[in-house]
Every structure is written in structure tokens, then in C-alpha cells.
Amino acid sequence: MNADAAPRVEGRITSSWVDRHYRLLLLAPAAILTALVAVYPIAYSIWASFVNFDFRVPGHAWVGLENYTSVVNDPVAVSALWQTAIMTGAAVMLELALGFVLALAMVGRFRGRNALMPLLIFPLFLSPVVAGQVWAILLQRNGPLDTVIDGIAGSDVTIRWTIDAPWNYVAILLADTWQWTPFVFLILLAGLTSIPSRLYEAAEVDGASYWRSLVFLTIPLLLPFMLLAAILRFLDAVKLFDTVFILTQGGPGHETFTVALRLYEQGFRLFRVGYGAAGSWLLLLIVGVIATLLLRRMVRRLVAEQ
């Protein structure tokens, strides 16, 4: 083989290898970037959860499950978990109910529907911090909401929305429901529009009233969409942080502490990074189990319908 033939052979071999593996080559930059911004931090947090990662203590001595034990035995963390569960459950149920009512009202065509739709979904496009700040202004003492209540009651009514129980919980639920009900509404509206109209026509021919059609036709067919909305909202609501931080900062005391707020306090204010990492993984485990159960229920429902 002469000197000119060798480079041509090597070029053909290289070209053939590229042709066989071009998919991997195209995916490689994204895979490397994902590894840098996702896999490495995850692995680092797992390591941090097993060491004494405290900025006040030099070194990172291996402590095993001590950080996890500290979280489980922390009464504030346990209380925050229960408060998170209660607020998450209340928010998701309230948003499902309001989203369902709105979807029923907006599924038909009527004058002004196109103008009303952007107003209904506008809160969805705000960041939770902005939404929390909006409600902080509305709920301030002698603020707009107090003025409305005074007008309805006919006397001065001053409610300390972010301090007194149960109004501090009501304030958090108001802000969260206002922002995320549009999300549930859009999912349920898509579900309602996917139900064939011939089913309602057949039910009407059989003499079914609107309410019977709603109970025995609409709700069963819409249930998979309700489960999907509930799962997505649950996964997001369990991380409730921004709105609580803006409105109450977990107070008074630890009364409205959520898990996310407790982990933020320990990890970023008190610099107990190991505690924060361990608590995050425990929360992920709990959320993963609940989400898996809900997903299995939804899949079984879909398979049964087929």
C-alpha cells in the first residue's frame, strides 16, 4: 500500500465509525451537560448526607445515618412534615374542586369566553414569589381585603392574616389556590373537551338529567384527568416554600413551617448541609412512594377502561 492510500483507508474507517455511532455523538453533548448539572449534584448530596457537613465544624467526618436520625428525631421537622401534608392535601382538594367548577363553566361556547380565559389563567404565569407578594399586599392589616370585609360586615374587622391561627393557614391556601387552580382547570378542561358529545346525546335520549349525566358520565370519564392533575399538583405542592416564606416565614414560631422551609433554615441559614441533604432524601422517598401509589391507581383505571 502506497503512502497516499493509507490516509484514504483511515478516513473511510473513521467515516464508517461516525456513521454507525452518529446518534451517540449527537447525544453526547447533552449527556455530558446533564451529568455536570444533575448527576454530579445528586451524587454530591448523597455523600453530604452521610458526613458531618457543617460549616461550623472543620472537616467532613463520616457519620453514617446520623444525619437521617437527626431529621427523624427532630420535633420541628416532624411537625413541619405534618403541616406540609395538611396544607398540601387541603390545597390540592380545593384546587381540584375549583378547577372542576371552572372547567364545567368554560367548556361551552359563550360570548366573552375568549376574553375571560386569559384572566383565569393569568396567575399561572406568575412566579410563586410574586404571587406571595401580591397576597402579602392584599392581606396586610387595614389592606384591601380587610376593607372589603369591613364593607360586608358593616363594622371594623381587623384580621392579622399572617400571624393569627387559623388565618395564617388560610392566607397560604388563598395564595396557593389562586395561583395553581388555573393549572388544574386547564387539565380538566382538556379532559372535558375530549369526551364525545354523542355520549351526552345518548344520555339525554335515555332521559338522564344534567346532574345524572354529570355524576354517572362526566365524573367517571374525567377521573383519569383528575388523578393526573392531583399527582402533578401534589408533587409541586409538597415543595411549598416561596409563598410561605413571603407571607409568614414559617411563623409565628414554627407554626406554619413546611418541610422545605425547615430544610432551607437548617442547610442555608444554620449551615447544617448534612442535615439538609438527609432531610431532602427522606422527603424524596416519602413523595416517591405516594406518587407511585397514585400513578398505579391511575394506570389501573386506564387499563380497566380499555
C-alpha grid cell, residue 160: 392579622
Task: Provide the CA 293 distance to its chain's centre, in angstroms.
Answer: 17
User: Domain check: are 11 and 120 in the same one?
Assistant: no
Whether the pLDDT of residue 301 is over 60: the answer is yes
**Domain residue limits at 204:** 67-305
Residue 276 lies in a domain: yes
Cα 65-68-71 angle, rounded to 5 deg: 150
Predicted pLDDT of residue 78: 92
Residue 139 lies in a domain: yes
Residue 89 · residue 238 · CB < 8 Å: no
User: Domain check: are 193 and 250 in the same one?
Assistant: yes
User: Domain check: are 41 and 119 in the same one?
Assistant: no
Residue 111 lies in a domain: yes
User: Domain check: are 88 and 37 in the same one?
Assistant: no
User: Domain check: are 16 and 131 in the same one?
Assistant: no
Whether the pLDDT of residue 254 is over 60: the answer is yes
User: Domain check: are 82 and 39 in the same one?
Assistant: no
Where residue 123 falls among pLDDT bands split at 50, 70, 90?
very high
**Crossing angle of the two packed helices 113-121 and 167-193, in degrees rounded to 10:** 140
Residue 175 lies in a domain: yes
Residue 123 · residue 178 · CB < 8 Å: yes
Predicted pLDDT of residue 182: 95
- C-alpha–C-alpha distance, residues 32 and 35, integer Å: 5
Residue 54 lies in a domain: no
User: Domain check: are 40 and 143 in the same one?
Assistant: no
Strand, helix or coil for residue 51? strand
User: Domain check: are 132 and 271 in the same one?
Assistant: yes
Predicted pLDDT of residue 268: 87
User: Domain check: are 94 and 208 in the same one?
Assistant: yes
Residue 226 lies in a domain: yes
For the entire predicted model, the pTM comes to 0.83
Strand, helix or coil for residue 52? coil
Q: Which phi and psi (to 5°) does residue 104 adopt?
A: -60, -40
Where residue 12 falls among pLDDT bands split at 50, 70, 90?
low
- Give the residue, 81 or 35, on which the prediction is more confident: 81
User: Domain check: are 16 and 162 in the same one?
Assistant: no
User: Domain check: are 13 and 140 in the same one?
Assistant: no
User: Domain check: are 265 and 179 in the same one?
Assistant: yes
Average pLDDT rounded to a whole number, residues 229-249: 91
Q: How many domains does the chain have?
A: 2
Residue 60 lies in a domain: no
pLDDT tens by residue, 174-227: 999 999 999 999 999 999 999 888 988 888 888 888 899 998 899 988 988 998
Supply the CATH number for residue 280's domain. 1.10.3720.10
Residue 90 lies in a domain: yes
